Amino acid sequence: MSSQSAAATAAWARFLAVLCSRVYRTSLLTLATVAIAPLLLGWGSFVIKSGSMEPAIDVGDVVVARPFAVGEKVAVGRVYVFDDPSTSKQHLLTHRIVERLDDGSYASAGDNNDVTDATPVTSGDIHARGVLLAPFVGLPIAWLQGEEWVKLALWLLLTIAAFATASRNLDGEPPTWKVLRLVRDRARRRPSTTPDDAVGEPRSDPVTASHRGVAPAVLGVVLALAGTGLGTANAAFTAQTKNAGWSWTVGSWAQPYVSAVLADAPAALWLLDEAAGTTTAQDRSGNRVLGTYRTGATLGQTGALTARNPGTSMRTAGSLAFTSANAVASPTHHTIELWFRTTATTGGYVTGFGSTTAATSPTADRIVRMTPSGQITYGDWVTNPLRVVTTPRAYNDGAWHQLVVAVGNPSSFGDTVIYVDGTAVVAGQTSKSSTYTGYWRVGAGAGPAFNGNIDNVSIYNTQLTAARVAAHYAAR
């Protein structure tokens, strides 16, 4: 390659480097202004720390939100910043409001979540409504708070280099700013210890002079982002019912147990995570099979799966605690799954199907009971002949247990398998079930009521396999 072509290549490379650096500098300063300037109006700017709103909002994006006024109408479909109602700790979420519920509260969800948030949002939880989005400009703050020092250091070095390159003048380009021109002229007149090779006159280094403020300028941008009141908010992966009007992709941080259950298309999924005083239980299956809490329910108790699937449970107080809100057709092949904990020695009706929502039903079957000794039974209802399967051991030991009753062909003698903690413990034929329209119920029915904690009740219109039951338990 000739010296002339090499010089031309170098000139083009320098031109592209300066051009790209100026585009980056302008973009960064513009986005920083978009993120910071609204604070002067009393608005809020929030750096997103997690990815459940992807692809609309990514980690490191800054959501600019105006304050939510008292009495303001909540717009379904818009993004809001609100206190996470599922925890008493200070914890902000930036999620989309996807549905107004019958009790006046709202269902929220991350666009990248398969299910909506576990606890409904009230207008009193909402702080602000999202208005503007400044993409990626909050990444340094996210890295700083996440102690991702390598990423932060690399960004600082690259940004300083880009600012330095952007401040260089291209061949034949005069200084744009008058101040810069004066600085350069003064630098050229300043004596230097480096002689000119041709005439022995002192010469200055205008490039160095024009770059002296680059590092402080970049650090100033970072400090401005970090110190002007930008808040942080999570777009966390949580779980509740899907809304047919929206479509979400399962996120890798979705609650693992909920994801495992949803993979088997339950007819109903009640996590029982509602706050004390709530009367309606949300169905997380997407089938809108709402539930109703009865007088025997005490909500807000410690959940069964707090390690990886945060939520609360329901305590039954020796009477009917829960029923489905509307009548449904009785299933043929079906599976009942729930988590329970008790130390009671009175036994009682855990769950089943009945023709009414009253304390007892004229027609009742598909009943799971605990004996006074703590064993689990299925098939113990009035029929001829009576066929019951009973677990060999007791489970009233005060520990949480997964209970799955998988039934095939119940209109004949159901081929039933009872699983506890992911493992089949007893199998056999059970009493015949009737075909009618009725309600799923928890806590009481025919005979003594159950006294203990219940969590994560799911109903399937299929007989789950041993592999799927074990998968649910493994996701706890």
Query: pLDDT tens digits, the chain, 476 residues: what are they?
Result: 567 777 778 878 888 888 898 898 888 888 888 888 888 888 888 888 878 788 778 888 888 888 998 889 998 888 899 988 877 777 788 888 887 776 788 888 887 776 677 778 888 899 999 888 888 888 888 888 778 899 989 999 999 988 888 888 776 666 555 545 555 565 555 554 444 333 333 343 443 334 444 555 554 555 444 444 455 555 543 323 233 332 222 223 347 898 899 899 999 999 998 888 889 998 888 788 999 999 999 999 999 998 777 789 999 988 999 999 999 999 989 999 999 999 999 999 999 999 999 988 889 999 999 999 999 999 999 777 899 999 999 999 999 999 999 999 877 777 999 999 999 999 999 999 999 999 999 998 878 899 999 999 999 999 999 999 999 999 98
Which residues make up the CATH 2.10.109.10 domain(s) of the chain? 42-138
Beta strands in 135-227 (DSSP E): none
- To which H or E segment does residue 398 belong? none
Give backbone dihedrals phi and psi of 124, rounded to 5 degrees, phi first: -70, -20
Question: What's the CA gap between 88 and 312, in Å, rounded?
Answer: 13
Neighbours of 94 (CB within 10 A): 29
Beta strands in 229-282 (DSSP E): 231-233, 268-270, 280-281
Question: What's the CA gap between 165 and 452, in Å, rounded?
Answer: 69
The four Cα atoms 110, 275, 100, 65 give a dihedral, to 10 degrees, of: -50
Residue closest to 371 by CA, chosen among 394, 404, 399: 394
Arch. (CATH architecture) of 42-138: Ribbon (2.10)
Amino acid code (one letter) for 269: L
Question: What's the CA gap between 250 and 440, in Å, rounded?
Answer: 28
CATH of 256-474, one of 3.40.225.10, 2.60.120.200, 3.40.190.10, 3.40.50.2000: 2.60.120.200
CA distances from 475 to 55, 87, 244, 422 (A): 26, 22, 26, 10
If you search the block for the tokens 């495992």, which residue do you land on? 260
Which residues make up the CATH 2.60.120.200 domain(s) of the chain? 256-474
pLDDT at 231: 57
SS3 assignment, position 444: coil
Question: What's the CA gap between 281 and 322, in Å, rounded?
Answer: 9
pLDDT at 233: 58
